[in-house]
Amino acid sequence: MPIHVPITFPRLTEAEMLEVDYAVMKHAFACHRELGRLCDELNYQADLAARLMEVGFDSVVREMPVRVTFCGFEKVYQLDLVVLNRVIYELKTASSITQAHIAQLLNYLLLVGSNRGKIINFRPNSVGSEFVNAPLLPEDRFRYQVRRESWSAPSRLTELVLDLLSDVGAGLEVSLYLQAITWHLGGEEKVDRLLPLQRGNTKLAAQRFHLINDSEAFAMTAFPLSSMRRQQKHLQTLLYLSPLKSIHWINTTVHHLHLLTLTR
């Protein structure tokens, strides 16, 4: 199994989640009152975990590792706080909870097969929080459709993409797929390259690309299907500004894997 989780997370009902969360949040507010709002994240993590254990929570795990492997590639995620082997809490010290924070916790939920978690933010004057739900069942992430449109990428890239999605499923964060593919193509030093951009006779700055060879690059995104045509226009423009001959575009969502080669 390419996703290695120390425990098996149950699927929680809303009532079960709220029962745990009521007790946890009471101590999160106490933590905020006594530590203030300016500590680093790890201090809130340590204090909240200690408070929960002091009142009798029989399982409170800090930084639980979740390991993703793919044919030699490995990436380890750490879940900030796992309470009662059931609920993941992601702790933040930010001005506000952002979509990036929500996407991060959603990625964790999909990785471990859990359906409910929560973000707690200790930086504001009053504790901020937001529930994050992942209604998909783990098997749903393997029911995606593959569509190839003028796809002419080297077979090595095609095999990597299809094998990777087959192993870990769709719907996870783009950076995981990108890092795994980059590792198999020789690593960042070989794949990540700065190329000059030029508009007509006007030389612009250098742009980072992920190269397969000197004339071909690949791009990995997770745009919804409804915006793909609009995004294709921007990617095509970037190709025209670059010295590349083609960009092989890999767009993945929970339900679709879209492979499209853009050429001059």
Mean pLDDT for each 10-residue chunk of the chain (264 residues)?
92 97 97 97 98 96 98 97 98 98 98 97 98 94 95 97 97 97 97 97 98 97 93 97 98 96 96
Residue 115 Rama label (left phi>0; alpha psi -120 to 50; beta): alpha
The letter for the amino acid at 120 is: I
Torsion of CA 115, 119, 120, 126, to 10 degrees: -120
Q: Report the candidate in 232, 231, 221, 230 with the shortest Cα–Cα distance to residue 256.
A: 221
Q: Where are the alpha helices (DSSP H) in 13-169?
A: 14-35, 41-54, 99-112, 155-168
| pLDDT for the residue numbered 1 | 59
Taking the CB of residue 184, how many other CB atoms lie within 10 A of it? 19
Per-residue pLDDT, 262: 98
